[in-house]
Amino acid sequence: MADNIPAHGSSSPQATQEQDGERKKRPAPAARVPRPPRMPVHGVLLLDKPADLSSNDALIRAKRMLNAPKAGHTGTLDPFATGLLPLCFGEATKFSQDLLEADKTYEAVVHLGIKTDTGDTEGQVIGEHAVEIGAAQIEAALAQYRGDILQVPPMHSALKRDGKPLYEYARAGITLEREARAVTIHHLEMLAYQAPMLTIRVTCSKGTYIRVLGEDIGQALGCGAHLNALRRTGVGPLTLAGAVTLEQLEAAGELAQRKDMLLPVDGLLQSFAAVQLPDELARRFLHGQRLALGKEGVAVPEQAGRVRVYRVSDGCLLGTGLLQEYAILAPERLVSTA
């Protein structure tokens, strides 16, 4: 008799059948909708980046909406900053370095009288000072920072020391010595001033930290300062005119409509003079051959240097080249889709 008693914790055949029946009634998990295969996308998206989003996160979202396999941005904006962030897709990524090297234009709001440990609104207040400053004093301070200046990079930056970004040291409470770097402030003007808020416009060389510029202006005025807002309005020849937001890109709906928002690949190269090659010379150029354009009767720009190169028959961009002495054209970066 005892052998017929179920062991403690075991189920009877009837109970097992009921449990199996319950399992069968459970709905199957919904099948994942396969993502469409990524197709080549070539061009430049002028993105108006929102605040509180990193440049890399903005790139990832745009790349996903365009279903693009290859993309990159042309110089980061701090998460709290807004404005122009050119995103390069496909063949355009070959020319993104040109924008990394390009001058940038910003509009910034400098909060006078309050210093933070990061130089912007994301830090902790480390000093306060009354602001009793007039426009003439501000103009005198701005004059000190026009032209070639030296700037010490901030600890809260992505510059690396021993393979680790400076901001990681800063978060650990460590301050390292940093060498001052030469930068150029091409243009610096006061747009508005209503104490304690000073609005400025800056056009500067690569590597310039507007946070540091704001702090330096505050120091020159004797009251300290931090950056309250920052908006990038220009990168090289590109401006916010025609830029789109992530919301606008998403609202475009169909992939074809989203792709229509991109500039062509040569949108990055408009500051370079153009050279037009007949088909046979275009073929040789794409094979990496140097061309003696003077002997071929091809019109060349007056000045030597970097040029954008096209095929005459269809207007297709072939890439960039270096126009050298005696009208010699040497291929530089070639477009694989030409």
Q: What amino acid positions are annotated as catalytic residues? A: 78
Radius of gyration of the chain (CA): 29
- Would you state the structure tokens that stand for residue 153, as one six-digit string? 């990079």
Per the CB < 8 A criterion, the answer to whether 145 and 218 are in contact is no
Burial 289-299 (b: 16+ CB within 10 A, else e): eebebeeeebe
- Kindly report the number of other CB atoms within 10 A of residue 126's CB atom: 12
Query: In this structure, what DSSP letter does residue 38 have?
Result: P
CB 59 within 8 A of CB 275: no
Backbone angles phi, psi at 294, to 5 degrees: -60, -35
Report the alpha-carbon distance of residue 222 to residue 167 in Å, rounded: 27
Amino acid code (one letter) for 250? E
Residues 6+ apart with CB under 8 A from 16: none
